[in-house]
């Protein structure tokens, strides 16, 4: 089991269940003394840089939605499960739009109603998280009982 994130570090979000995940913008360097994740999901339009921890690349162009929504649902569900025992990081270029959207999806998986997940992430992570109307709709549909973006039964 990996040591948990420290909530006092920048970008760490506590989900209602108590799970901790970190959101980050890759254009900003890691804060001095901040620990590395044990698992990182990089939400980018092109392949992310190499890092010394386990990663997953989710193809997700800037200001858009994931290219493969079924894959995104599976990857985010795995991240939510892994966040119970590992330091999971989600990151895009700026750390707000795609990262905020992914964090809101994790909040939905954690029990936050889909209609409240964006507000939850804005209140507890970054007030500018989830930048576009289609990203907000994606979060709403992520919690739908059916469809490629809905939770698994």
What are the domain boundaries of the chain? Answer: 15-142
Q: 107 with 119: CB under 8 angstroms?
A: no
| pLDDT for position 146 | 47
66 neighbors 60 (Cβ within 8 angstroms): yes
pLDDT value of residue 88: 98
pLDDT for residue 150: 39
Distance from C-alpha of 83 to C-alpha of 22, rounded to nearest angstrom: 10
Q: How far apart are CA 59 and CA 10, in angstroms?
A: 25
HSE value, Cβ hemisphere, 13 Å, CA-based, for 96: 11
Pick the CATH number of 15-142 from 3.40.30.10, 3.90.190.10, 1.10.760.10, 3.40.50.2000: 3.90.190.10
The series of mean pLDDT values per 10 residues for the chain, 153 residues long, is: 83 97 92 90 94 95 94 97 97 97 98 97 97 96 60 34
* 65-100 residues labelled b (16+ CB within 10 A) or e (exposed): bbeebeebbebbeebbebbeebbbbbbbbbbbbbbb
Residue with tokens 């490629």: 148
Alpha helices in 5-148 (DSSP H): 69-82, 97-109, 114-124, 133-142
CA 14/CA 51 separation, integer angstroms: 24
Verdict on whether the full-model pTM lies above 0.75: yes
pLDDT at 36: 93
């Amino acid at each position: 089991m990996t040591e948990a994130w420290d909530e006092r570090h920048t970008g760490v979000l506590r989900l209602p269940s108590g799970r901790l995940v970190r959101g980050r913008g890759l254009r900003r360097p890691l804060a001095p003394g901040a620990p590395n994740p044990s698992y990182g999901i990089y939400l980018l339009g092109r392949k992310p840089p190499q890092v010394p921890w386990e990663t997953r690349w989710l193809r997700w162009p800037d200001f858009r939605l994931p290219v493969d929504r079924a894959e995104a649902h599976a990857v985010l569900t795995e991240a939510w499960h892994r966040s119970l025992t590992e330091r999971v990081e989600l990151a895009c270029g700026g750390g707000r739009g795609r990262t905020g959207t992914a964090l809101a999806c994790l909040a939905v998986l954690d029990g936050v109603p889909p209609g409240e997940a964006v507000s939850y992430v804005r209140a507890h992570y970054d007030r500018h998280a989830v930048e576009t109307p289609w990203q907000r709709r994606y979060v709403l549909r992520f919690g739908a009982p059916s469809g490629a973006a809905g939770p698994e039964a």
